Amino acid sequence: MTTVDIPAGWPATEEQARAVQDELRAKTVLDEPGPPPGTGRVTGVDVAYDDERDIVAAAAVVLDAATLEVVAEATAVGRVSFPYVPGLLAFREIPAVLAALDALPCPPGLVVCDGYGRAHPRRFGLASHLGVLTGLPTLGVAKNPFTFTYDDPEARRGAWTPLLAGPEEVGRALRTRAGVKPVFVSVGHRVSLDNACAHTLALTPAYRLPETTRRADALCRRALRAATTGPEVREAY
Binding residues for Mg(2+) are 46, 114
C-beta of 114: minimal distance to DNA in Å? 5
C-beta of 146: minimal distance to DNA in Å? 4
Between 47 and 63, whose beta carbon lies closer to DNA?
A: 47
**130/18 Cα distance (integer angstroms):** 15
Between 34 and 188, whose beta carbon lies closer to DNA?
A: 188
C-beta of 125: minimal distance to DNA in Å? 3
| 111-to-34, 46, 62, 158 alpha-carbon distances in Å | 11, 11, 9, 21
Between 97 and 103, whose beta carbon lies closer to DNA?
A: 97
Between 63 and 91, whose beta carbon lies closer to DNA?
A: 91
First and final CA of the chain: distance in angstroms? Answer: 24
Q: 155-181 as b/e, with b when 16 or more CB fall inside 10 Å?
A: eebeebbbbbbeeebbbbbbbbbeeee
Q: Where are the beta strands (DSSP E) in the chain?
A: 2-4, 41-50, 55-64, 70-79, 110-113, 138-142, 160-165, 168-174, 183-189
C-beta of 143: minimal distance to DNA in Å? 4
Residue ranges binding DNA (CB under 7 A): 46-49, 84, 86-90, 114-116, 120, 125-127, 140, 142-147, 217, 221, 224
